[in-house]
Amino acid sequence: MEAIFEKSQLGKPLIIAGPCSVESPEQFMSTITPLVNQGIEIIRGGIWKPRTRPGSFEGLGSIALPWIQDSKKQLRFKFATEVASARHVEEALKHGVDIFWIGARSTVNPFTVQEIAESLRGTSIPVMIKNPVNADLSLWIGAVERIQKAGISDIAVIHRGFSNFRDVVHRNSPLWQIAVEFRTYFPDMMMINDPSHISGKRSLVPIIAQKALDLNFDGLMIESHYTPDLAWSDAEQQLTPEDLQLLLQNLKTRKVRFESQETLNQLEEIRHQIDQADHDLLEALHRRMELVEKIGEYKKLNNVAVLQMERWKEIFKTRPEWAEKLAINPELIQEIFGLLHQESIRKQTEILDRK
């Protein structure tokens, strides 16, 4: 059986699209017919919908599975749905579902992932694994390993963002650095971005989708509904099939490799300059830590407390201001100096504890 989740050698992103939830045979066919006609070969749809609070629409359940079978007799596509238990797996396999995904609320629970993994043992069905709700890289890696140990080899992961109460822009904070770090553990595994769940509103979906392609993601999973405002779930983030087609036409894919040796040589020269700049930064940090140790010795000699709030406030006020004058992101600098100051406090405390 040919693997579904193999990276394209041409850099062409895999596109998965479809409604958040399967609501009726009419809604499903009205949505997916134009998608399939656009050339989308994998259709997504929620059969079971794990919701945060009771009372929300939690999917129609197994009653919708025969509708999927009927629609596949009329149109050629592969169908993907979320499974959150062994019963879901059994029902979906019985009705010919082609691809499963494990949702963010399941990935966060190793017991749930293990139950799903055991129910998949002996099958060869492709599986996608979403990142956990919270920003825990180990849980995401662990979920992949559990599915692999069950004998499943056709695996992709889905970056759908992370819960973050401080983010007022996104429904789920993208925290791109976690997705990038995940790829260092599984460099050959397809990573698919879910701009619908990251954005939470359709106006942001194109922005997130393009950002994902700029970061060399392998595909996109986007929610689409023929009448999004009437959708029973996730109405604000779904696109009409027509808007989705326009989005896909406007996306820019990036080259995976450099085509000329001259361009590669120029890049290597710039990288060499970055290496030198990084070395200079580390020497400056070394010098800073030497000064921190002197301050620690002085405080110990004079019986002065390590944490001086006025100094803390001064650093967090002035460093971002200096950064802005140098056209550097002040939030980045505030985060960096927060870490530096924590390390300074740690070193000074260590000095005070010495006998």
The pLDDT value recorded for residue 257 is 63
The pLDDT value recorded for residue 52 is 66
> Is the CA virtual torsion 253, 256, 261, 265 positive or negative?
positive
Domain boundaries, the chain: 14-250, 261-353
Any idea what the Cα angle at residue 346 is, between residues 342 and 351, rounded to 5°? 145
pLDDT (tens, 9 = 90+) of the chain, 355 residues, equals 678 998 876 678 999 999 999 999 999 999 999 999 999 999 999 999 876 667 678 789 999 999 999 999 999 999 999 999 999 999 999 999 999 999 999 999 999 999 999 999 999 999 999 999 999 999 999 999 999 999 999 999 999 999 988 888 999 999 999 999 999 999 999 999 999 999 999 999 999 999 999 999 999 999 999 999 999 999 999 999 999 999 999 999 876 665 677 777 888 889 989 999 999 999 999 999 999 999 999 888 898 888 888 888 999 899 999 999 999 999 999 999 989 999 999 999 999 888 7
- What single letter denotes the amino acid at residue 33? T
CATH number of 14-250: 3.20.20.70
The pLDDT value recorded for residue 154 is 97
Of 166, 187, 164, 162, residue with least CA distance to 176 = 162
**Residues 77, 28: Cα–Cα separation, whole Å:** 13
pTM metric for this prediction? 0.82
Contact between 45 and 16 (Cβ < 8 Å): no
**Residues 98, 284: Cα–Cα separation, whole Å:** 55
Residue 28 three-state SS: helix
**Residues 104, 86: Cα–Cα separation, whole Å:** 17
CATH architecture of 261-353: Up-down Bundle (1.20)
The alpha carbons of the chain give a radius of gyration, in whole angstroms, of 25
**Residues 56, 313: Cα–Cα separation, whole Å:** 45
**Residues 354, 296: Cα–Cα separation, whole Å:** 11
Q: What are phi and psi of 99, to 5 degrees?
A: -140, 140
Contact between 129 and 82 (Cβ < 8 Å): no
**Residues 207, 203: Cα–Cα separation, whole Å:** 8
The pLDDT value recorded for residue 261 is 78
Contact between 128 and 106 (Cβ < 8 Å): no
The pLDDT value recorded for residue 35 is 98
**Residues 251, 254: Cα–Cα separation, whole Å:** 10
Within 10 angstroms of residue 24's Cβ, the number of other Cβ atoms is 12
**Residues 309, 110: Cα–Cα separation, whole Å:** 42
The pLDDT value recorded for residue 1 is 61
**Residues 225, 108: Cα–Cα separation, whole Å:** 28
